[in-house]
Chains A and B, each alone.
Chain A
Amino acid sequence: MKNRVARWGRAMLVGLALFLPTSVSAFDTKLVTLKVGYAPGGEYDLVARIVARHLGQYLPGHPEVIVQNVPGGGSLRLAQLMLGSEPSDGSSIGLIGSAVWVAPTLDPAVGDFDPLGLRWIGSLAAAPDSLCIVAKSLGIETVEAFREGDFILGATGRTSTGYYFASAARKALDAKFRIVTAFEGIAELELALLRGEIAGHCFAAAEDLRRAELGEHVNVVLRAAGPEESPYADVPRLRDFIEDAHMRAAVMLLEGTREFNFQFIAPKGTSEETMAVLRDAMAAMAADPAYAADMAIIDGVVLRLVPGGELETALRARLDADPDIFALARQLIE
């Protein structure tokens, strides 16, 4: 036994002498890990990989930027990790969903999550349209018919933005339609729509409707959220049908869950100096035509950098809203 322990000891020493200095460390400034809060594949993953290709050249020492997927809870899992265990020296940054900042106020189940502890590096794209679409075969073309119609809209989970918009439309308009949840994603929703299992959904973007197979089969009835400038600017907005100021503010709060797209964050406790380096690098990257050319492959993305400081201020202001408005927003999505 003594002999065996001695052998272990010798092996350990030889190993340390040979290999310990060569171990790669995540805390080495030569390597930045960009963690994306979604599974491989999909838009967020692709954006992360494009940013990883470009960001490193604008950071001091030109570190390699690698992507790691940390899916879970619509990127809330990553946001939680960024509040806790991630190093705050700039070697770990994250890409999270656009609604994470409002999660604890809309979903009491995640009430222990403090979004204000996160540091925002910036967001990269403008809010896309979120349109309520209904199959043409139903003959629904107006909001009034949408309100009165007895049909099914689909959504993914009950904490998804698509569900928020459909539910808000149903309650704010006192509509009759039902909402079915548990679809896996937007493509599955569209497939269910095409085969007639659901009548539509409230999460269609302009680029989805450009595809003839979908665009030719649906009517766009309502804009749940979206920018002022849009090819669908003439479609009535949900907020315009609400007279009560508080309720209208609650709907606009929900619209805000799509406002800042592709939000990049740093862990809690990241110093101002490190934040400045990261924000400057992101601004420089956003101005790079090569980056813009790579991002252009993602259909429908309108590039618009919102610098981290500005983003942080905007999100704080939204979270400082009247608690009654949050309560109303929660009622809309219950």
Chain B
Amino acid sequence: MDIILLALAEMTEPFRLLMLVTGTITGLIVGVVPGIGGIFGLALFVPLTYQLDPYAAFALLLGMSSVTTTSDTIPAVLLGVPGTVGAVATVVDGHPMARRGEAARAFGAAYSASLIGGVAGALLLAISIPFMRPLMLHMQTPDFFAVSAFGLSVVGMLAGSQPLKGLAAAMLGLLLAFVGIDANAGIHRWTFGQIYLWEGIPLVVLFLGLFGLPELAGLLARGSIQEKAELPTYAGMWRGIRDTLGSFWLVIRCSWIGTILGAIPGVGIAAIDWISYGHAAQNPGEGPPFGQGNVRGVIAPESANNAKEGGALIPTLAFGVPGSAPMALLLGAFMIHGLVPGPDMLSVHAPLTVSMVFTIAAANILGAVICLFFTRPLARLANVPAGLIVPLVVVFMIIGAFQNNMDVLDLLMLGGVGALGMAMKELNWPRSAFALGFVLAPMLERNFFLTYQIHGWGWLTRPLVLALFAMAAIGFGRRAVTWYRTRGRQRQLPAPLPDLVFSGLLLALAVAAFVSAGAFPFDARMFPMISAGILAALALAIFLQAAARWRDRGTSTTAAALTGEGEWAPVGEFALKASVRLALLAGAASALLLLVGHIAAAFVFVLGSTLMLGAASWRTALASAMGAALFVYAVFDLMVSRAWPAPLLKQALGL
């Protein structure tokens, strides 16, 4: 009790509170800009904490990293563009809600779920402080492998109305995750001589392309975010809050999922989001199906991703093993302040540890309240013409993706993945299943090899392993039974010819991957070959199905008449046109970025494309362009200096 009071007294000193507020507000800003995220903010702030005492330093750092997953909901819901990788699952139901005129409700649900989830995660962290070391010492690598295998079984819930496609999408995600240097064997897997690919496909760029670009194409096709021109009201926001309160136990369960999985090193925030989303999908409750704007699809990931921070602190504090990427940076701050993770954090430095719990809880409350305050004006954006919004979002996405490596390949990768995302969206290949496979693959592979090398096959009798495998088998089995029972039911399907082409391409890719993986050493080829083999079999089955539908095409549903099912939300006959327009816009923004630099590109692109799309007057377009350029300058030059490559035009002119 004394420790709690001491921590409270330390935390409530005015300067430390100021640091907490500063961190929280900065975290909210960082979360809202697609492509940057918590690590960016922490890397910015860690050096600034040299002069601060540890309480103020961790108030600033944890305040910031705790709330990026609160504000990242704003672009996810409004635009379908995840603010950070922690908001990707929120896109799937949050954005359809905004399209339906329920942006305020989605925000109300998301922020209140973030608040309760974040506080519940902090509480679980507080309760686990005395047990965290024994718990971490009890868990072994087979348990971590079983957790990741259980996580992958959630793909059954994400597989959508065409389960073969869902499973194939997950296998494609697994396969692409193996691109890069295999850290264990030290060999290159499908890097094609490109240094850019050594670290694999960048997660931020992948998710921006896979989810962001296709949703923007849809937005261009529709003309505005919201299909009905209704003004958002505070009543909508309160309804969302009531939705969260009505799903209280879902929030608590998902926050525990977030905290517990957050405590396992290697389980990233994206995996936690999808696992909690899949958990919620098992019981969709009232309202539309998951994928079409079910509010529980927003509540689940939002409560889990805010709770994760508390969990990730457990191995960080107890053993110095970072529970997440931001925690690796936090360990750097530990060193700066002379703190050594381990037993001392629970004895000598216990008040500081408890103050971290308070910081996470307080930041989550403050962040959610600030966001709720802005809900109504933000929700009004849903009525703004697409021609005004899309140029702004495209330029932030392009700059956000590019600033990761400052490499033109970032832009090409974004475009390539965007094209894949558009095809998957149109043809009912669930991107969520792909995302889950991608984020779980490294953990699955690494923990399997550790487990096998250390324990042989004896680990299969561990109680936790057995329990998790049984839960995975039951969950997946139930889903398979549902698929079997509904197999003959008439449902709307995409046009057969594009399906035929896409599955044919995937089949070729899978066979090529399988054959080329044969040249890798045994431990580097096992998982890629398994993924490629299963993908090839599934792609072949889908190819044959599509071929049969193409043969009987006179009776098939045409793409123009589609309404979609589950996560599937095709734009139909407008898809190609809108996708081409968006590709041209993204290409123009990329070219301008390289040609004239980030600030001039933001101005020129927003001004030019807003006028070209005919959505606003010169004056409005000019104001929008000025605002974009100033914002880019503020974030990428004032907040943190970045070494942008010299613009090509400047080089050519010899300036």
Contacts and interface: CB of A to CB of B under 8 A. Distances in A.
A80 B371 CA distance: 44
Given A15-B596, A41-B322, A183-B450, A107 B643 contact: no
B650 interface: yes
A25 B183 contact: no
A2 interface: no
Interface in B590-607: 596-601, 603-604, 607
B518 interface: no
Contacts of A67: 43
Contact of A16 (B181, B342, B600, B629): B600
B231 to A, nearest CB: 31
A173 to B, nearest CB: 21
Interface string A66-107: 111111110001001100100000011000000000000001
Interface in A162-199: 178, 180-185, 187-188, 190-192, 194-195, 197-198
B49 to A, nearest CB: 11
Interface in A16-68: 16, 18-27, 31, 33, 39-43, 45-46, 49, 52-53, 64, 66-68
Contact of B328 (A12, A40, A198): A40
B187 interface: yes
Contacts of B336: 46, 297
Contact of A41 (B331, B608, B637, B655): B331
A42 B331 contact: yes
A195 B137 contact: yes
A22 B335 CA distance: 37
Contact of A23 (B136, B325, B342, B599): B599
Contact of A25 (B325, B330, B601, B650): B650
A190 B319 contact: yes
Interface stretch (A3-11, A132-140, A230-238, A265-273): A3-11
Nearest to B649: A20
Interface string B10-54: 000000000000000000000000000001001100110010000
B352 to A, nearest CB: 16
B265 A188 contact: yes
Contact of B600 (A19, A68, A195): A19
Contact of A7 (B325, B608, B625): B608
A283 B611 CA distance: 55
Given A15-B603, A16-B600, A109-B188, A72 B332 contact: no
Nearest to A112: B193
A213 B343 contact: yes
B644 interface: yes
Given A22-B599, A191-B321, A80 B195 contact: yes
B597 A11 contact: no
Nearest to A22: B599
A20 B43 contact: no
A45 B46 CA distance: 11
Contacts of A23: 596-600, 644, 646-647, 650
A205 interface: no
A91 B341 CA distance: 37
A254 B24 CA distance: 47
Contacts of B223: none
Contact of A26 (B599, B637, B643): B643
A245 interface: no
Given A41-B328, A46-B335, A184 B266 contact: yes
A3 to B, nearest CB: 9
A11 B604 contact: yes
Given A23-B597, A72-B199, A81-B195, A14 B607 contact: yes
A8 B650 CA distance: 20
A7 B340 CA distance: 60
Contacts of A39: 325, 328
Contacts of A22: 599, 633
B47 A49 contact: yes
A332 to B, nearest CB: 15
A26 B645 contact: yes
Contacts of B644: 23-26
A79 B608 CA distance: 40
Contact of B641 (A31, A77, A183): A31
A102 to B, nearest CB: 14
A261 to B, nearest CB: 16
A15 B595 CA distance: 12
B458 interface: no
B453 interface: yes
Nearest to A191: B319
A156 B139 CA distance: 19
B85 to A, nearest CB: 15
A197 B596 contact: no
A211 B342 contact: yes
Nearest to B47: A49
A14 B186 CA distance: 51
B395 to A, nearest CB: 12
Nearest to A65: B641
Nearest to A9: B608
Interface string B106-142: 0000000000000000000000000000001111110
A197 B332 contact: no
B338 interface: yes
A18 B600 contact: yes
A69 B199 CA distance: 12
B642 interface: yes
A71 B599 CA distance: 27
Contacts of B319: 187, 190-191, 194
The residue among A4, A12, A45, A152 with the most chain B CB atoms within 10 A of its own CB is: A12
Contacts of B537: none
Contacts of A297: 335-338
A19 B629 contact: yes
A24 B320 contact: no
B454 interface: yes
A147 interface: no
A281 B327 CA distance: 33
Contacts of A27: 646
B348 interface: no
Contacts of B643: 24, 26, 31, 33, 66, 68, 91-92
B185 interface: yes
B1 interface: no
Contact of A77 (B137, B198, B608, B645): B198
B519 interface: no
A188 B144 CA distance: 13
A84 B194 CA distance: 12
B10 to A, nearest CB: 21
25 contacts: A7-B612, A11-B611, A14-B604, A15-B596, A16-B596, A16-B649, A19-B599, A23-B596, A23-B646, A24-B637, A26-B645, A41-B325, A46-B335, A46-B336, A49-B46, A81-B195, A181-B184, A182-B453, A184-B446, A194-B137, A194-B319, A195-B140, A197-B454, A211-B342, A299-B335
The list of the 8 closest CB pairs from A to B, nearest first, reads: A41-B328, A15-B604, A159-B186, A23-B597, A11-B608, A19-B600, A26-B643, A33-B643
Given A41-B331, A72-B195, A156-B183, 6 more contacts: A12-B604, A19-B596, A23-B644, A66-B641, A158-B186, A191-B137
Interface of B: 39, 42-43, 46-47, 50, 136-141, 181, 183-188, 195, 198-199, 265-266, 315, 319-322, 325, 327-332, 335-338, 340-343, 405, 446, 449-450, 453-454, 596-601, 603-604, 607-608, 611-612, 625, 629, 633, 637, 640-647, 649-650, 655
Interface of A: 4, 7-8, 11-12, 14-16, 18-27, 31, 33, 39-43, 45-46, 49, 52-53, 64, 66-73, 77, 80-81, 84, 91-92, 107, 109, 152, 156-159, 178, 180-185, 187-188, 190-192, 194-195, 197-198, 211-213, 294, 297-299
